Amino acid sequence: MSLLRLSPSNLLSAVTTPPESNRVCPRIHLKKKETSALTRQRLGFNTTFRFNTFQRQALRCCLSMPVEGPTSSSQLQDRLLYFSRAYWVSRSQIAWNVGAEDGSCYLYTSKSARLSVTNDGNHGIEGYDMRIKLEVDNAGLSENVMEKFPHIRDYRAFKVPLTLDVKNLLKCQLAVAMYKSDGKWSTATGLQLPGVLDELFSYNGPLGAFFSAEAVSLYLWAPTAQALSACIYEDSSGGDPVQIVPLQEFNGVWSVNSPRSWEGCYYVYEVSVYHPSTLRIEKCIANDPYARGLSADGRRTLFVDLDSDALKPEGWDTLADDKPVLHSFSDISIYELHIRDFSVTDPTVHPDFRGGYLAFTSQDSAGVRHLKRLSSAGLTHVHLLPSFHFADVADEKDKWKNADNQMLESLPPDSDEQQAHITAIQNEDGYNWGYNPVLWGVPKGSYASNPNGPCRTIEFRKMVQALNCVGFRVVLDVVYNHLHGSGPFDENSVLDKIVPGYYLRLNKDGCIEHSTCVNNTASEHFMVERLILDDLLCWAVDYKVDGFRFDLMGHIMKRTMVKAKNVLNVLSKDKRGVDGSSIYIYGEGWDFGEVAKNGRGINASQFNICGTGIGSFNDRIRDALLGGSPFGHPLQQGFVTGLLLQPNGHNHGSKENEERMLAGAKDHIQVGMAANLRDFVLTDFNGQEVKGSEVCTYDGLPVAYSLSPTETVNYVSAHDNETLFDIVSLKTPMEISVEERCRLNHLATSIIALSQGIPFFHSGDEMLRSKSLDRDSYNSGDWFNRLDFSYNSNNWGVGLPPKAKNEKNWPLIKPILADPSYKPLRSHILAAGENFLNVLRIRYSSPLFRLRTANAIQQRVRFHNTGPSWVPGVIVMSIEDGQEGIPGLSQLDPLYAYIVVIVNACPNAASFAIPALRTRTFELHPLQVMSTDEIVKNSTYEALTGCFTVPPRTTSVFVEYRNI
């Protein structure tokens, strides 16, 4: 529904009718090209939010409609009160998009929030404390203002008198109004304040609760607050505060010193502040933005000293010395895992630990044994989906509703009853991915054995320690691009209660931007950026996290990301107990919404982030391998799903078009296998020598964007969208066998594993994981998200996936789920797991698969079978090493002098000769010779002709040993 098209007759219903869902938006894997609001609407993004917020935003957006006919005073008052179209950008300037007609501009202030338009509409504003005339600044906005606020660079500038006590005025309701030369009122609006707040109140001192031997001190940044108190409670819930302590302000920071005996108690802030969403001075109850502990469901902030020995597992302070060795970021490989998925259905885990932090400490559980196998094969990092305090999952387990699994097991595989049962309780069960942040700096209570007190801190630390012990470094998925709540009353609102209109990014009308789903944050503002950096330091130092994955990183400014990398990099084991140089950062560099094309400053998009050493996900290789995109037709095929080679009946155009699509996909994959380096030179399918940046996607954007291999995170599946096995099952022809689909699953994974750059794997892909074809399982419960480390089931065919995001595809999905031939057997799952371990071992068998520089990749990596006469469905990559003592390439690998990787996506065996290699002696990689996969053993090399032969749907690795 477009609110801008509402008529006055249905305005009331729009404002008072709640959206279809008041939960967080679904997790849709957004590509960089999806930039416009219209496109996002077409893709089905749910931009709804909680009921009160929806009402307020609906009203504010509706008020932006042109008013036809006579304008009443109440309409004028609404326009004044509900919009903030002017910007107080610095101490001396206000920017406003008004015409240059003759007349006067005035600034109005009201400490008690009584501004309104006079009854006749001619004499302007009443209810003010001060009325200040503003002169036009003919010099225009300053350069630093235009750099900070590029979206208003053409606005008119007005001078703020130097005599004003600006700091105190910022605590008031504010408005500016224009008057015509005849003195009649013309227009008015409220003001957005982040610019002037940053100039006057940027602060680098202590924030949050600080503990000393005798005292605990509180510090809160709230420059627009009129009064502020801390309410102290002995218990986690209920009861009256045992003390209400007023805080004192100095230059925008409120503070109080109190006895150390507060440790273990709880507190909330009571903030009196003008809130533009209600047009009133509100008394907001809020948690501490720098909270390091919480009560259940975040009702209160816990006084907790993270440096207390009582909160540290044995050996915690020296954990940095015991972490798995990491020589280079190029050695990283990542396994993405949801904490609850890992153990909630694992019967080998103690019932009290299932679905939580402590499950990782169960060293003999099936899941931990599986992780040990992955680690022994070379996998280095476990990426945990959000585990900070998020909304929509109650922290107390007795509040959860649970599915009747026994009943669900009895239903047909294509039934719609399973999803109906799951969705009926999905907002009251224990499941959610967690991309709906409330407080960033506290572990989620639902994963702890007790959500009250410091238990969650202790158990999170034990989880990190246990994963390090198994051989993994730990990546935390952070979501700084949006917050779940806003406004003065939402229980999940924190930052917007304390400094309204500052932490959340606003549009030109003063409404909150929602392109990330809901309540976009504004890292371009100084104290937002500072909060992000401080939060990262907390997780790195106090929880010894080894890496960070940034959700929708493109909505964060590049400057913020570079600062984050730098502040983490300088951490040392001597001073902070952490080796910051080993902390890896990566994220989603999609470029869309209000930040697209640097609309709010230089953002951390794929094309902007290159050269920083920060990684970003390479969606190009994913789309080329699977076909289309997550937003395209579900049957569109790609390189490994049968495009041209095994058609599924979908109309891809003429055969010539299919040939061109397959050849283009091959080029995209090859660029990705070369770490998506923009300057890597290869021969494209037309026979032209081109750089990676000159190979273009179907929408004309460059495929390659990175400057170093560690800036590329290659993947073929993630938590978003269908699992790899599901998408392969959906896109391949129905007549092929499940064995063939299993091979294609592994084929796709092997390409990622053997590419330059950093490989990223979704948990369960190595076990043919299925979510019963659910394309968006963020809230689909344990039933659709199950992992089975006993390898008895891959969770295929457990019912039609939830209606909300999948119903339009049910006609395609239903016959597939109903067909028993699609379901893998235990033998298939075991074989897939062994093949995955093998390809990991191959990656770590040679440093040639993990080259550290762009120059090394350009010098050593070559692609054959290129140009217009290529053999369709076959990729041939060679990696050459040097010889010690011989000029030219340096020697990196003591064992192998030359490696050839051949990917055959064809349904039949393929042969390819490389005449230049006839003088070499190649053998199938010893790990494949010893493999349990009998098919790969049929790979051959004929030295006389330089011809390699590879079985169907197989990746074969050939090596040339050194002469020792």
Catalytic residues: 551, 588
Cα torsion 31, 33, 37, 39 to 10°: value is: -80
Say which residue the tokens 């951390």 belong to: 604
Cα separation values, 221 from 198, 229, 705, Å: 12, 13, 39
Q: What crossing angle do the helices spanning 558-569 and 526-537 adopt, rounded to 10°? A: 30
Token representation of residue 793: 């089931």
Strands (DSSP E) along 49-113, which ranges?
Answer: 86-90, 93-96, 103-110
DSSP 67: P
Strands 86-90 and 156-159: unpaired
| Rounded Cα distance, 800 and 771, in Å | 10
In the block, tokens 């058609």 appear at 647
Interhelix angle 724-731/738-753, rounded to 10 degrees, is: 130
- Cβ(713)–Cβ(334) below 8 Å: yes
* Other beta carbons less than 10 A from residue 746's beta carbon: 30
Please answer whether residues 86 and 178 qualify as being in contact, where contact means their C-beta atoms are separated by less than 8 angstroms: no
Q: What is the rounded distance in angstroms from the CA atom of residue 888 to the CA atom of residue 436? A: 53
DSSP letter string over 387-453?
-EEESSS-SSGGG-----HHHHHTS-TT-SHHHHHHHHHTTTSS-----SEEEEEEE-GGGSS-SST
Q: Quote the CA–CA distance of 790 and 285 in Å, as a whole number.
A: 48
Cα 413 from Cα 772, distance rounded (Å) = 9
Beta strands in 693-812 (DSSP E): 712-714, 758-762
| Residues 276 and 502 sit within 8 Å (Cβ to Cβ) | no
Q: Alpha-carbon distance 887 to 71, whole Å?
A: 83
CA dihedral 900, 904, 905, 906 (to 10 degrees): 160
The SS3 of residue 377 is helix
The Cα 536–Cα 552 span in angstroms is 16
* Angle in degrees, 0-180, between the axes of helices 826-843 and 738-753, rounded to the nearest 10: 20
Residue 113 in contact with residue 127, Cβ under 8 Å? no
Pairing of strands 130-136, 86-90: unpaired
The CB density around residue 820, as the number of other CB atoms within 10 Å, is: 9
242 with 233: CB under 8 angstroms?
Answer: yes
φ and ψ at residue 784, rounded to 5 degrees: -90, -15
Token pair for residue 313? Answer: 């597992």
Measure the CA–CA gap between 807 and 245, rounded to whole angstroms. 54
Scan for tokens 């659709």, then name that residue.
784
**Which residue reads 């600006």 in tokens?**
166
**Distance in Å from the first CA to the final CA of the chain:** 72
CA of residue 11 relative to chain centroid, distance: 35
CB-based contacts of 836: which residues, under 8 Å, 6+ apart?
377, 746, 749, 753, 765, 766
CA separation (Å) from 611 to 571, 604, 606, 607, 705? Answer: 21, 11, 11, 10, 10
Angle at 797 between CA 795 and CA 798, to 5 degrees: 70
Q: Tokens in use for 874?
A: 């076959």
